[in-house]
């Protein structure tokens, strides 16, 4: 489905759920023992590509957090899970949320708060 320029795609909502995307696992970011799940999300409606990062620390209540940033197809080709947080931090902005932030989604930019 193609949207007109006046319509906003569901993938652009801060709280866009899993049903909006096709997810492809890129692997795990093991930096500093964090074991963050890194995925490439493709919007089912417009085809935009999103880098998705999710981490939760077992035994630490309310530690779950996720980040989702719009990336180019060229960047998606060689994306290394170990570099995912650096890629997110270099984007003009990204969505983030989870129990750690007490949020279902909001806009941010700069450093990502992934460490426990």
The range of the structural domain enclosing residue 94 comes to 43-102
> pLDDT tens digits, residue range 60-90?
999 999 999 999 999 999 999 999 999 999 9
> pLDDT tens digits, residue range 6-55?
578 999 999 999 999 999 999 999 999 899 999 999 999 999 999 999 99
How far is residue 56's CA from residue 100's CA, in Å, rounded to a whole number?
A: 9
Q: Residue 80 falls within a domain, yes or no?
A: yes
How far is residue 112's CA from residue 66's CA, in Å, rounded to a whole number?
A: 9
How far is residue 47's CA from residue 2's CA, in Å, rounded to a whole number?
A: 9
Mean pLDDT across 99-107: 96
Question: What is the overall mean pLDDT for the chain?
Answer: 93
Q: How many domains does the chain have?
A: 1
Largest Cα–Cα distance of the chain, in whole Å?
A: 46
Q: Residue 15 falls within a domain, yes or no?
A: no
- In the chain the first and final C-alpha atoms are separated, in Å, by 40
């Amino acid at each position: 489905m193609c949207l007109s320029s006046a319509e906003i795609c569901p993938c652009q909502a801060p709280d866009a759920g899993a049903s909006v995307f096709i997810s492809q696992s890129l692997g795990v970011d093991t930096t500093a023992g964090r074991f963050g799940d890194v995925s490439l999300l493709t919007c089912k409606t417009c085809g935009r590509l999103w880098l998705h990062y999710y981490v939760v620390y077992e035994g630490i209540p309310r530690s779950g957090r996720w980040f989702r940033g719009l990336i180019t197809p060229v960047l998606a080709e060689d994306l290394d899970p170990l570099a995912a947080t650096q890629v997110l931090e270099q984007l003009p902005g990204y969505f983030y949320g989870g129990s750690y932030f007490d949020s279902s989604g909001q806009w941010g930019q700069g450093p990502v708060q992934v460490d426990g």
